Chains A and B, each alone.
Chain A
Amino acid sequence: MFRWIVARDLTLAWRRRADVLSTLFFFVIVVSLFPLGIGPETQLLRLVAPGVVWVAALLASMLSLGRVFQNDYQDGTLEQMLLTPQPLYLVVLGKVLAQWLVSEVPLVLIAPLIGVQFDLAPDTLWILFVSLLIGTPILSLIGSIGAALTIGLRGGGVLIALLILPLYIPVLIFGAGAVDASISGMSPQANLYLLAAFLVVSLVFAPWATSAALRISLE
């Protein structure tokens, strides 16, 4: 059941590759614009790098979130998913996992590469990668709540951003904080542990909240 959902969403994403690539290119382009705009001052670039990369990751995840439930809602698949004999929690977890694999993992993988534009040291690039690896699933999980609440609404995309971006702030602070710490030669451990704690909490509660939101939206 769980694997049906994940396999299905991955197949669908593969057939609609353009959607997935647009998120990735958005991320790459936004991050690349900053070095071009700021100029070649390496000191300054290094200083803004964590914030820029992380903010771009948040915005990129906004782009893909609208699609998590919208298409399934429109063609009636979501109704069917609510009627499956398995807990809705698993359905949601499967969909979120697929969304993360499709939209966030490519971004995590390419982040160290575009981090080079900001003159980050190899150690720091590694921390950037790890912080995104822990942080992006939280974005998917929290974002799914917003996506579930706004299905079927016109202008849902803007509403998701208003609902969800404030909730992303702690992730942004600790994610960028970890990279910051690494740049200034301190240990990023504390920040990463906090991110991991957020991940565990959102893994437990977010699918549950999303299930409730889906039930409300589809009544």
Chain B
Amino acid sequence: MTTMLVALAAVASAQSTTSTPPPKTLAATMEVYVFPTEGQDAQQQSKDEAVCYDWAVQNTGTDPFELAKKAEQQKQQAEQAQAEIAQAGQGAGAKGAVGGAAAGALIGEIASDDAGKGAAYGAAAGAIVARRRTRRAKAEASEQVEQQSQQAQHATAEQIENFKKAFSVCLEAKDYMVKF
């Protein structure tokens, strides 16, 4: 029984060894291509990349992994804000209809938010005005969120670009050829 398990484990291990791609280096995860020009082995390269990563973090004040996390949070926040904006519009027409009521004059009540209680036309007018306002507010809010999100993405891309420059300089100083 034990012999069989060991044999199975060996087969599984062999299979996993052949099918699993080689682990990505730190640089590769950031789409930075590094080639050792002085014949450094993989272990040395990994160590050098780790050192250069820290150096670049210190010099640029940017940590790409932290940035990625932050960007994901911002994306979620933007999505949430968009969802809230979309939800805010629901029922605005009805609210306008209830709120848009009061007694008054003939011409003076036309297209008024204060149209009379129980007056169907007042309610309808209130609802239309409310819908119109909500639609406009939603469009404005949505545009603002989109703009903020784009600004954040732009800033993040710039920071990463800067980080890669610093990371590359460090690796080049350690006799690696670097492209990104």
Partners in one complex: no
A interface residue numbers (CB < 8 A to B): none
